[in-house]
């Protein structure tokens, strides 16, 4: 499973929210494997320093998430990013998911990711949709 970078921010900033529940299911319960890349970790670090993000996400929380991701996530060596999304900046997230053979890519980005519905075998879901799958026990 792949979480887009905005979902990382939302989950870390609001641990009692839907995306926070997904992060807990991964971190504490090992309900699924989180796929990422060095580029996504770098993007999260960059985004977490924005002033508007700092208002909702403390530096220490962002750093703790990065450390846990480095220890527990599966890093995909992305090679050759295809132009798929209307927003080319999202193509590397899709590449992580497709090259890592993810079942799901989780995002709230309706225009650029969710509207794609599915790319290869990867289904695009909202955090709420993914959480329903988790509650039904359909994710390894």
Residue 26 is part of a domain; what is its CATH number?
3.40.50
Instruction: Decide: helix, strand or coil at residue 121.
Output: coil
Residue range of the domain that includes 100: 2-135
Q: Judge contact between 95 and 81, C-beta under 8 A.
A: yes
Q: Say whether pLDDT at 140 is over 50.
A: no
Residue 140 lies in a domain: no
In a domain, 51, yes or no: yes
Find all residues with CB under 8 Å of 113, minimum gap 6, and list them.
Answer: 4, 85, 90, 93, 94, 105, 107, 124
pLDDT in tens, 27-75: 998 889 999 999 999 999 999 999 999 999 999 999 999 999 999 999 9
Average pLDDT, the chain: 90
Count of domains for the chain: 1
Q: Locate 61 and state its tokens.
A: 């929380």
- Residue 49 forms part of a structural domain: yes
pLDDT tens-digit readout, 76-125:
998 887 888 777 778 889 999 999 999 999 998 877 777 787 879 999 99
Taking the C-alpha atoms of residue 1 and residue 73, their distance in angstroms, rounded to an integer, is 10
pTM of the model: 0.90
């Amino acid at each position: 499973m792949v979480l887009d970078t905005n979902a990382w921010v939302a989950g870390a900033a609001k641990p009692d929210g839907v995306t926070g529940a997904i992060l807990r299911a991964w971190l504490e319960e090992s309900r699924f494997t989180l796929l990422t890349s060095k580029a996504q970790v770098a993007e999260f670090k960059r985004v977490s320093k924005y002033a508007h993000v700092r208002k909702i996400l403390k530096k220490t929380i962002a750093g703790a998430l990065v450390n846990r991701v480095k220890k527990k996530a599966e890093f995909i060596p992305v090679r050759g990013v295809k132009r798929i999304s209307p927003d080319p900046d999202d193509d590397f997230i899709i590449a992580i998911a497709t090259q890592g053979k993810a079942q799901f890519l989780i995002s709230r980005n309706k225009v650029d990711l969710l509207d794609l519905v599915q790319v290869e075998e990867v289904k695009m879901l909202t955090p709420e949709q993914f959480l329903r799958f988790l509650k039904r026990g359909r994710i390894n």
